[in-house]
Chains A and B, each alone.
Chain A
Amino acid sequence: SQKIEQNSEALNIQEGKTATLTCNYTNYSPAYLQWYRQDPGRGPVFLLLIRENEKEKRKERLKVTFDTTLKQSLFHITASQPADSATYLCALGENFNKFYFGSGTKLNVKP
C-alpha cells in the first residue's frame, strides 16, 4: 500500500541547533516533493520544492535533500529559532492532480 511517513512525535530542539525532519515514502513515484509549514488554525505555506532529478535544494536557512533510491527526503533548518516552531508537512507530487501529503511533524524550538 502507499504510505508517506513523517515522525508523528514532536521534535524538540534548542535554539541555534539544526533541526532535521524526515519524510519516507513507499509505493509512490513522485516527480517532485515539497515541504510546507503549517501553523495552528492556518493553511499550509509552501517552503521548498525539489524535483526527482535534484539531490539538494537550499533556501536561506532551509535545506532539502531527496533520495529516490532510499525513497526519503530530509528537511533541515539551520540556526533554528523559536519562530520556526510549527508543523512541517511533506507532500509528494506525481503530477498536478496526484498530490499526497504526510501527516506532518511538529517542531518545537526552545529558547
Chain B
Amino acid sequence: ETGVTQTPRHLVMGMTNKKSLKCEQHLGHNAMYWYKQSAKKPLELMFVYSLEERVENNSVPSRFSPECPNSSHLFLHLHTLQPEDSALYLCASSQDPGGRASETQYFGPGTRLLVL
C-alpha cells in the first residue's frame, strides 16, 4: 500500500450521468494530483493542488471538475463525459518543499472508468 486510496476502483457510467471519484492520502503530504492514463499513452497530468489551492489545470475540459476540501482529500467530479474519456484515473500526492523540485509522487491504485 502506498498510503493513497482511491474509490471506486471501477466505474461504468453513461454520458448523461454525474459521478465523482475520490482520493485520500494518509501521508501528510501537501500536494495532490489527478492524472489520466489511456491505453498506450503517457500519463497526462490533469490538475495539481498545493495547500488546497489549484495551481495547475492542463487544458482539461470543463466536464471534469476537481475539488480539494482539505490537504488529505481530492475529488474529481464527472458530468456529461464522452466515450473517449474512458481511461484509468490516477491520484497522487507529494510533499512540496516550498517550490523547489518535488520529491517522489505516491500514486493510488486508480479508478478504471468506462463511459458508455
CB within 8 Å of B: which residues of A? 4, 8, 31-32, 34, 36, 41-46, 49, 51, 89, 91, 93, 95-104
Contacts and interface: CB of A to CB of B under 8 A. Distances in A.
Interface in B91-116: 92, 94, 96, 99-110, 112
Contacts of B96: 96
Range of interface residues on B (Cβ < 8 Å): 20 to 34
Contacts, number: 69
Contacts of B11: none
A103 B88 CA distance: 14
A43 B90 contact: yes
Nearest to B102: A96
B42 interface: yes
Contact of A43 (B45, B48, B92): B92
Interface SS of A by simple majority: strand
A45 B105 CA distance: 8
A46 B102 CA distance: 13
Interface in B1-28: 2, 4
Interface string B68-100: 000000000000000000000010101010011
A109 to B, nearest CB: 22
Given A43-B92, A43-B109, A96 B104 contact: no
Contacts of A42: 109-110
A31 B33 CA distance: 19
A93 to B, nearest CB: 6
Nearest to B6: A43
B50 A96 contact: yes
A99 B45 contact: yes
Given A42-B110, A43-B2, A43-B110, A97 B105 contact: no
A43 B37 CA distance: 10
A79 to B, nearest CB: 24
